[in-house]
Amino acid sequence: MSQLFHHSANAIARFSIFGGICLVAGVAWLGWQADTSSWETRANEHRSQPVPFSHMHHVGGMGLDCRYCHTTVETSSFANIPPTRTCMNCHSQLFLSSPTLEPVRASYRTGQSLQWTRVYDLPDFVYFNHSIHINKGVGCETCHGRVDKMPLTYQYPSLEMSWCIDCHRDPAQHVRPREFITTMGYQPAGDQEEIGRRLVKEYGIQDARTLTSCNTCHR
């Protein structure tokens, strides 16, 4: 009885074994890439807003402090989106006829809230608190990027858990003195490592074991 398979079938067998492994690995890799891609995390994605509000203009151009509008950032878990009244503080006198600002004026006139699209949207099982980060020297820029250079606001980091945990494991890499908390383009006056270690101690930032306990963020 002759050989059922020709000699070259060995090559096919080898190819299919390795090819199969590669295929599985490839699909897994693709899945991983898709899962961490900015399409999935929605990083760097501009969201449509009722008014094309420009942080670049207000922060970069005019030099407004973040806390002029986001008043509760130091006291509450939630950094509030300013009420229409805050916009009208200036815009009852500036750009009165600008059609782009009509939704803001309409909101003030009618009492209907503006509906902003959420840019930084954590999953519902994550409990992030702005006030404690601000009080412990985590600057706005650290998570929100250079908003003074954003004509339209986008999500700067991936907001994946690993991104949060990186800092919770070693906050010294990221903290800054409180007086620079809203500064954009902050440069440490010296070695960040050294300044960071000092600030972690000074601000009583908790140890990595506490900061990475599940209940720090999940309840």
Nearer to other proteins by Cβ, of 128 and 186: the residue is: 128
Identify whether the C-beta of residue 91 lies closer than 8 Å to the C-beta of residue 69.
Answer: no
Residues whose CB falls within 8 Å of the CB of residue 205, separated by 6 or more in sequence, listed in order: 136, 137, 171, 175, 199, 211
Query: Residues in the site for other proteins, rule: CB under 8 A?
Result: 31, 34-35, 39-40, 42, 47, 72, 75-78, 80-85, 107-108, 111-118, 121, 123-125, 127, 129, 131-132, 135-136, 204, 206-207, 209-210, 213-216, 218-219
Identify whether the C-beta of residue 79 lies closer than 8 Å to the C-beta of residue 85.
Answer: no
**C-alpha to C-alpha distance for 7 and 201, rounded to whole angstroms:** 71
Give the other-Cβ count within 10 Å of 51's Cβ: 15
Question: Closest distance between other proteins and the C-beta of residue 110, in Å?
Answer: 9
The candidate with the shortest Cα–Cα distance to 185, out of 149, 158, 153, is 149
Nearer to other proteins by Cβ, of 64 and 188: the residue is: 64
Question: Closest distance between other proteins and the C-beta of residue 81, in Å?
Answer: 4
Question: Closest distance between other proteins and the C-beta of residue 135, in Å?
Answer: 5
The candidate with the shortest Cα–Cα distance to 185, out of 71, 52, 56, is 56
**C-alpha to C-alpha distance for 212 and 193, rounded to whole angstroms:** 20
Nearer to other proteins by Cβ, of 165 and 188: the residue is: 165
Question: Closest distance between other proteins and the C-beta of residue 166, in Å?
Answer: 18
Question: Closest distance between other proteins and the C-beta of residue 145, in Å?
Answer: 19
Nearer to other proteins by Cβ, of 100 and 129: the residue is: 129
The candidate with the shortest Cα–Cα distance to 214, out of 153, 161, 178, is 161
Question: Closest distance between other proteins and the C-beta of residue 199, in Å?
Answer: 14
Identify whether the C-beta of residue 101 lies closer than 8 Å to the C-beta of residue 145.
Answer: no
Indicate the length of the chain as a whole number.
Answer: 219
